[in-house]
Structure formats: C-alpha cells, structure tokens
Structure 1
Amino acid sequence: MPSRVPEAEQAWLRENYAHGTIYDTLDAFEAEFGWRPSKRTLYVRAHKLGLRKLRQDPEFRGRRAETTIRWSCEPEMEEWMLEHDGGRPHDDVAAAFHERFGIWLTRGQINIFRARNGLQTKDGCGGRPARPIGYERRTKGGILVKVAERATVPMSKDNWRFKHHIAYEEAWGPVPDGYVVYAVDGDSCNCDPENLVAIPRRTMGAVNQLRGEGATWESREEFLAVAAERSLAVAINDAESRIPRKCAVCGAEFAETAEQRRYGGRTATCPACIAAGRGARGDRGDKAPTVCAVCGRTFPRSQKNQRRCPECIARSPKRTAARQREEERRGRE
C-alpha cells in the first residue's frame, strides 16, 4: 500500500471491506471519510492489502455453488425475480435476492433464469447492451444476423439467422423441409445467390465426402448435377436397405428399420437378436494365415488384427501378445 494512503483508511478497509457488495462499501466509505473513490480505486487498495469480499472467497463460492435452484420448482422465487430483476447488474440482483430469501445466487443461476424467461437480451444483461436488429457477427458456420429483438422460444437463439439462409430465400424461395442451404464454393460467408443451393440433408453428407476426397466444381449447375447424382446414390442405398435379408445369427428374414438405414451400412443382425444382445461378427477383413506372436505357430486368423493363436488366447484371454510372451518367458526362467 503506498504511503500516501492514510492509515485510518487502511484500517477501515481491513475491518469493513469483506462485508456487503462493492457499492455498500463505497457508500460506507463516503459516509466515513467524506469522499467517494471509484470502484477501481477501492479494488486496487483492497488487493494491495490482501483483502477480498466474503462472496469472492473460494470456500464461500463453493458453498454457494452447491445451492441448487430449479426455477420451475420455485414459483415464489421465480415470481420475485420476474418482478425485481429488470436487467440489473448481477451483484445487485444477488444481493436483493439474498436479502429476501437468504440465498446467494451465482451469476450462472441468474443467467439461466433470464434465458428461461427470454430476458437475456435486455440492456445491461451480461454486462453489455443488447445488439440492434440487423447486427451481424461471424461464426464458424457463417454470418449470423439478428432478425428480432427477442427469441420467440425461451433459452433459444431463434432471433438470429444465418445470412446465407436469408439470401437464399430472397433469391430462390423458402427452403423445403429436410433440405439445407449449401455453399457451392464451401464458403458460407459468400452470400451470392449463385453460390447457394438447397439440397437434401442426407445428400449433404455424400457431397461433403466427395469434397473431402478432393472433388471440385466450377459452377452452380455443375454442383447441382453432382448433388443429383449423389441423391440418386442415396436413394438406391435406401431402396436396397429395404430388401429383406437373412439374419447372420438366427437365420430369420428381416428388413432394416428406419433408424438402421440412417447410417448407410448393411445391417447383418435382425432387431430381435440385437435386442437380445446377440450380434453377427461379420467380415473382419483379411483372414490369411499368420504366425502367432506368442508361440510362433502358424494359424488361420478369424479377424484381421488377430496376433495370437486360439491356444494362446485360451491360456491368457485378457493379456496382450507382448504381455503374455513376457510372462511365459519369465515362467520358463
């Protein structure tokens, strides 16, 4: 603490700083010494003296975080918050709530209440003013635009929309159900209508796979042709998945469920066997004979990555090849 700070003020801070909010301390300081420092000045002085508010103490914060408040189960508290919150600073709301109910709210609990009731966009919430309608911000998925003052569904962000979605609808009309807006050049921030197409959601995965393999297209028409070919391939896959097949476990005929068709592969086990915990091993790849990594005998593999013969596996089923080889070597010694 610099020597220019009077000893009386230092002593007063040591005695009174820990209690109440920073605003309570400022008011009390002004009443005691006749002048009012800024919050920053008071914080700096307290820090240099090694002081902190009780509500900032790790032990106190731990106890406060253990207090679970489910707003849906506390109608009286929720009603009080709706009446008294008003977008005030978190510390003021927490202090008023403590005075009424004897519980210190965390910043997260206040934010959850505001989000649950669609109040998270009020001026002052989160320490910054609400963004105006039309405000844009860049994200990983493209440019988000604020289209409404508040969300229509609490705890959602449906008052924000991607700019390339808006641009597509203005140029080409509404996006059909089950479709997504796709950027031909891969840049969702490029909102040129000629760069935007709507394709089925399932087709998008097949198109992304082509792009990952290095495929490119020069124009919107060329991309639409590729998307049509991929849509046809997806439709053929769906049709083949509906053909009844024989279960590899019990031998009964079955057709894939809609849930199984989502993943594109061919299921070899019927739903009844899956429900009973039985599964087909299927084709595990190259099963050419190989040399056992433990005993050195040649054996036919039952799966691609098998390194031990059946006899060695039977002796130590829970060991790796290296571990079993080392244990058996030590046993011989």
Structure 2
Amino acid sequence: MARRSLGWKDEYTAYLRDIITGRLIPEVTTLVNGRFGTTYSKVQIAGVCKRLGLSSGKHTHGRSLTKEQHEFLVAINNGRTAKEVAELLNAEFGLSWSAERVKNYRGNHKLKSGLTGQFSKGHVPANKGKKYPGMRNSGQFKKGDKPASYLPVGTINYTTDGYPKIKVAEPNVWEYLHRQTWEKHHGPVPKGYSVVFLDGDKSNWDITNLACLSRSEVVRMNQMHLITDNPELTKAGIGLVKLQNKIREVKNGTTGII
C-alpha cells in the first residue's frame, strides 16, 4: 500500500492500475498529476508502483514512446524524412523529439522510411549529355545561384499536419508561428507547456486566439472534450480545468494551505 505521507488515495491506486500497462514512469506521472491535479515526482510514482507491485513499461520492449505514440510513428513513417516525422510526432503529442532521435528510434526498431536518398537503378538524369554555355560541367550551379526550391526568410509554410511555420534565418531555420506570436506578447513558452488554438483553427495564429497551457491541462481538456471551434467555450473549459486542479491541490494539501 502507498504511504499516506504522500497524501495518496485509493482512487489514485485504482487509476494507476488502469493506466500502468504499456507506459513508462514519466508518462504515468504526467497522467496521474493531470487527472488529479497532484504534483508527484517521477521518483514518488516509481516508489508507489514498487510498493503496489505494479510493473511499468510492460510490453514496450524498451521503447521511449508509449504504445500509442509508437503506433502513430509507424503509421506516418513510410515516405517521410526523420525531420517530418519528428514534426508530426511533436505536434500530435506535445513532445520535443529531434530528427536525430527519430533516426535512432527507427534504427533501434528496424523501421524503414522507404527513402534512400539515391536514384533507382537505371535512372537517367534529365541533364545527361546536355551542355550549357559558360559551364564546365553540366548540372552545376554558378556561385551565388539559388535552387528553384529556395525560400527567403519570412516565408510562411505549413507542416504536413497543418501547423504554420515561418522561416526566420538561413539556411533553413523555421519557427512555429503560433509559438512565435505567443512569445512576442508573453515571453518564452515555459518548459512543459504548449500553445493551443482557442477555436481549433491552426491557420488562425492571432494572439487573441491563443492560450498557453501545461501538458496536464491539455490532457484534461482533451479528455473532457473542452476544445471547441468556439473560443469563448474553450476559454470556459480552460477555466473549469484550472478550477478543478486548484480544488484538488487544496484537498491534497499541495498548495501550502493549512
């Protein structure tokens, strides 16, 4: 049984038993805190699991993703670069994976994207045998030339799942527009927080349509289906979630109130 000094309750145990299978301690900690408005650390949750005889990460085979996240990655993997997969994964689950981490994960789990970066056998280059005036070797750019695909700083583009991004520097540095807009008005987004669209429209990055929520709050909003196409209803949902979290904090004695 979990120690009462943690303020642990039977309802926490019941919920923990329901979610533990297939999840690692960091995710379990986030889910528990998000569900009950608590502030347990990963070490505390790991200790509770040990005392209750619960094994985390079961059937994950050493993955650093949950089963749901792994299945999502597998579904979007084919035909996409590691960078594209990282963007989709991060946007879907609020993660911060890099392209390099995706590459390592693919290698560890024997996942192939189907992209080789090479021409198929027998492919004939379009410029084979052609000569161009003023060029020593066909197919070469002159110094200073830019490829047709070049995009200047300030260009707005969209990720494959609809998130707007803007090019901020050369050679290929981009930022999400909704995060950039929020930070211009409120400063850096805190670690563990996400910027969400109040009306659900990713193309509307006006500051009046944005809110910054903790990941646990985002989880609660999604669980309770409180993110709508009506900004005012979504704001009311945010207020409800924050109130519920505050009530739990007071009940659990985590706010310092005696």
Alignment TM class, shorter chain as reference: 0.3 to 0.5
**Bigger Rg over Cα:** 1
Normalised TM-score (structure 2): 0.37
RCO higher in 1 or 2 (8 Å CA, sep ≥ 6)? 2
